[in-house]
């Protein structure tokens, strides 16, 4: 038997009002990523943290100690190619360890995930980024592409029979991610190359364990150059947004790497992107990130946007103090931490 559902006008009005409320609530919950709101959150983050004085420039690479500690720029690029910026996005800093992500991605693209697991390793070492003990303890295995030993091995694995070809391929992949031709910061390169005995020691130790895939002196040199590429906050955000967009640069529209490469890259960033503080970073942000001792930090909100901050003063682990705070604030305000879950009612 069919029951006739009839409502009194007041019931109708209440129902419609309730539905409107529920719908607008849901739209609001999803709609933190409006143009206005993104810009507002970046502006707020900038004013909130601009006067923070914590941290200190890296100085174990002498040239980095001379960089202006007040450089402070924020950029966010969405997967549909919209660019939002705040503060200083003109000043360049050397990319340093952030470059490790993109060299690893190129190896993943060319050699596949199994080769990277077998030849380098993908587990976090949990130790300082230039730890020799980490290499020795595992006899060169499990050295991780996002800290120095694994990163030098990753650079040594890049296609090319000679150093010039490998270098050309590295600049190309980093530039494709950034959406423009990146160039070398010569003073930083010269400063580090004259002083990187520790990285050379790491490369030689790996060579002794059969885990270095090119001449160790030349591999360290290519790696040192890679770290000295110059970038601003917008370049780093574009690199991050290319990962956020499944390997296609959302500004240039160029397909830089495959979706599979991105799928294997992001977990390594999540577990080892901020060196031995990676767990703390993930706890506070929920998203994969990568830092460099030049003061750059980028992070990826998969499917949504890439964000980056440049601010040279670092904490004890070697991560930019302001950059961590800004990105954590933005992620929280935009409600894009993937572990922030709206329960089903």
Residues that bind ligand GLN (CB under 6 A): 96-97, 129-130, 148, 192, 199, 227, 292-293, 318
Residue placing its CB nearer to ligand GLN in the complex, 192 or 238: 192
Q: Which residues partner with 298 through β-bridges?
A: 290, 308
Q: Between residues 185 and 265, which has the closer beta carbon with respect to ligand GLN?
A: 185
Q: Which is nearer to ligand GLN, 69 or 112 (CB)?
A: 69
How far apart are the C-alpha atoms of 194 and 228, rounded to whole Å? 13
- CA dist., res. 122 & res. 342, Å (int): 32
- Is residue 133 a contact partner of residue 268, using CB atoms and an 8 Å limit? no
Q: How far is the CB of 89 from ligand GLN (least distance, A)?
A: 20
Of the pair 79, 148, the CB lying nearest ligand GLN is at: 148
Distance CA 95, CA 114 (A): 27
The residue of the chain with the least Cβ separation from ligand GLN equals 97
Q: How many CB atoms lie within 10 A of CB 15?
A: 11
User: Whose Cβ is closer to ligand GLN: residue 130's or residue 169's?
Assistant: 130
CA 79, CA 244: separation in Å to the nearest integer?
A: 7
d(CA 83, CA 77): 5
The per-type count for the chain, helices as H runs and strands as E runs, is 14, 7
Dihedral angle at the C-alpha atoms of 251, 104, 190, 206, nearest 10 degrees? 180
CB closer to ligand GLN out of 156 and 245:
156
Q: How far is the CB of 84 from ligand GLN (least distance, A)?
A: 26
Radius of gyration of the chain (CA): 22
Asked if 275 and 289 touch (Cβ cutoff 8 Å), the reply is: no
Tell the smallest beta-carbon distance from residue 220 to ligand GLN (Å).
9
Which residue number, 128 or 255, has a Cβ lying nearer to ligand GLN?
Answer: 128
User: What are the backbone angles phi and psi of residue 38, rounded to the nearest 5°?
Assistant: -60, -50
Beta carbon of residue 262, minimum distance to ligand GLN (angstroms, whole number): 22
Name the minimum Å distance from CB 192 to ligand GLN.
6
Task: Give the separation between CA 32 and CA 44, rounded to whole angstroms.
Answer: 15
**Least gap, CB of 201 to ligand GLN (angstroms):** 12
């Amino acid at each position: 038997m069919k029951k006739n559902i009839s409502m009194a006008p007041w019931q109708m009005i209440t129902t419609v009002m309730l539905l409107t409320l529920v719908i607008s609530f849901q739209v609001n919950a999803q709609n933190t990523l409006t143009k206005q709101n993104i810009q507002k959150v970046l502006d707020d983050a900038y004013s909130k943290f601009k006067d923070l004085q914590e941290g200190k420039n890296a100085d174990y690479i002498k040239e980095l100690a001379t960089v202006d500690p007040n450089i402070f720029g924020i950029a966010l690029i969405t997967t549909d190619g919209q660019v939002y910026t705040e503060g200083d996005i003109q000043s360049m800093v050397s990319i340093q360890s952030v470059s490790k992500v993109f060299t690893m991605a190129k190896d993943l693209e060319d050699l596949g995930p199994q080769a990277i697991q077998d030849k380098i390793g993908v587990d976090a070492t949990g130790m300082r980024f230039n730890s020799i003990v980490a290499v020795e303890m595992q006899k060169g295995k499990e050295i991780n592409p996002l800290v120095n030993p694994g990163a030098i091995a990753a650079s040594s694995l890049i296609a090319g029979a000679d150093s010039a070809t490998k270098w050309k391929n590295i600049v190309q992949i980093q530039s494709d991610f950034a959406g423009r031709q990146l160039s070398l910061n010569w003073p930083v390169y010269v400063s580090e190359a004259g002083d990187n005995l520790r990285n050379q020691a790491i490369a030689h130790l790996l060579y002794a364990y059969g885990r270095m895939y090119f001449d160790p002196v030349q591999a360290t040199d290519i790696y040192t150059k890679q770290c000295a590429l110059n970038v601003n906050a917008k370049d780093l955000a574009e690199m991050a947004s290319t990962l956020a967009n499944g390997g296609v640069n959302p500004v240039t529209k160029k397909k830089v790497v495959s979706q599979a490469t991105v799928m294997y890259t992001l977990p390594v960033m999540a577990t080892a992107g901020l060196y031995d503080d990676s767990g703390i970073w993930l706890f506070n942000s929920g998203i994969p990130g990568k830092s460099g001792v030049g003061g750059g930090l980028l992070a990826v909100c998969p499917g949504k946007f890439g964000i980056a901050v440049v601010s040279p003063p670092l904490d004890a682990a070697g991560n930019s103090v302001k950059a961590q705070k800004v990105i954590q604030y933005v992620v929280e305000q935009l409600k894009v931490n993937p572990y922030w879950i709206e329960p089903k009612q």
